Amino acid sequence: MADIGAMAPEVVCLQGVCKSYGVGTPREVEVLHGIDLVLRRGEFCALIGPSGSGKSTMLNLIGLLDRPTAGTLFIEGHDTRRLDDAALTRLRGRSIGFVFQHHHLIGAFTAAENIMMPLLLDRSRPDAAMRRSAERLLDRVGLLPWKDSRVGNLSGGQQQRVAIARALAMSPALVLADEPTGNLDTKSADGVFDLLREMNRESRTTFLIVTHDPRLAQRCDRIVEVVDGRIVADGAVEEFRRIARS
């Protein structure tokens, strides 16, 4: 376990979490087997593993986009088993930000409006404070001059920066990033990763980043490795480096 934030409050806590698909059918398959994981405030954690190991399923469960078949999942102390669909949606909107491999911005809106979107969904009507908040975030990711540009007119790296700003719009406790640099060239990928890191340090937001890129994973504080639906390694990045060297 990483030392960073060992005494900090828990943001995510998985206890014996299992996930099966096709439950009750002959094709039932369990893809996660009793996952135990705690992420604390301010952690910057990489989730690695081969394709089909269960990383995305884990991310969907932690992101409250799906429910575990067994086990318990706490987000900021809320036992998600007790929450109905509406409450889960509310918790997801307020506590979790998402960054995807494909930025998944909404093409009908400008860069600033995309960043305002989580706030708009939460408060229903736009206001000046939302606009100011979106512009501040755009400034932070270096895209203020493009605030009124349609997202389709931005480059891939710029779009991903907008997506990062959008993920932080609600000042969430947790940001889940699924291959956030997977679609970018090395230079843009480094820039986006640096930005994630800066955001983590500035706001003490917890980041869980799924990546296949060992170079980027080693720039995190902690690495969790999943193989065949089980956590096979979990520790500070230095430990991984030491194991790799030996």
Of 44, 100, 207, 240, the residue at the interface with other proteins (CB under 8 A) is 100
Is 104 a residue that touches other proteins (CB under 8 A)? yes
Is residue 21 within 8 A of residue 238, CB to CB? The reply is no
For other proteins, the closer CB: 101 or 218 = 101
CA-based nearest residue to 31, from 65, 68, 75: 68
Of the ranges 8-16, 82-90, 153-161, 188-196, which one interacts with other proteins (CB under 8 A)?
Answer: 82-90
Is 129 a residue that touches other proteins (CB under 8 A)? no
Q: What is the CA radius of gyration of the chain?
A: 18
For other proteins, the closer CB: 98 or 240 = 98
Is 98 a residue that touches other proteins (CB under 8 A)? yes
> Can you list the alpha helix ranges (DSSP code H) found in the chain?
55-62, 85-95, 111-123, 128-140, 156-167, 186-203, 214-217, 237-245
Is 1 a residue that touches other proteins (CB under 8 A)? no
Is 147 a residue that touches other proteins (CB under 8 A)? no
Is residue 13 within 8 A of residue 41, CB to CB? The reply is no
Instruction: Write down how long the chain is.
Output: 246
Q: Minimum Å distance from CB 28 to other proteins?
A: 18
CA-based nearest residue to 49, from 246, 216, 227: 227
Is residue 211 within 8 A of residue 51, CB to CB? The reply is no
Helix, strand, coil percentages (3-state) for the chain, rounded to 5, are 40, 25, 35
Of the ranges 73-81, 115-123, 194-202, 226-234, which one interacts with other proteins (CB under 8 A)?
Answer: 115-123
Of 94, 147, 212, 230, the residue at the interface with other proteins (CB under 8 A) is 94
For other proteins, the closer CB: 143 or 169 = 169
Of 10, 20, 41, 66, the residue at the interface with other proteins (CB under 8 A) is 66
CA-based nearest residue to 151, from 115, 189, 187, 109: 109
Touching other proteins, residues 23-52 (CB under 8 A): none
Of 10, 20, 109, 212, the residue at the interface with other proteins (CB under 8 A) is 109
Give, as one character, the DSSP assignment of residue 145. G
Of the ranges 72-80, 85-93, 222-230, 236-244, which one interacts with other proteins (CB under 8 A)?
Answer: 85-93
Instruction: Give first-to-last CA distance, the chain, whole Å.
Output: 20
Where do contacts with other proteins occur on this chain (CB under 8 A)? Answer: 60, 63, 65-66, 85-86, 89-90, 92-94, 98, 100, 104, 106-109, 113, 116-118, 120-122, 124-128, 166, 170
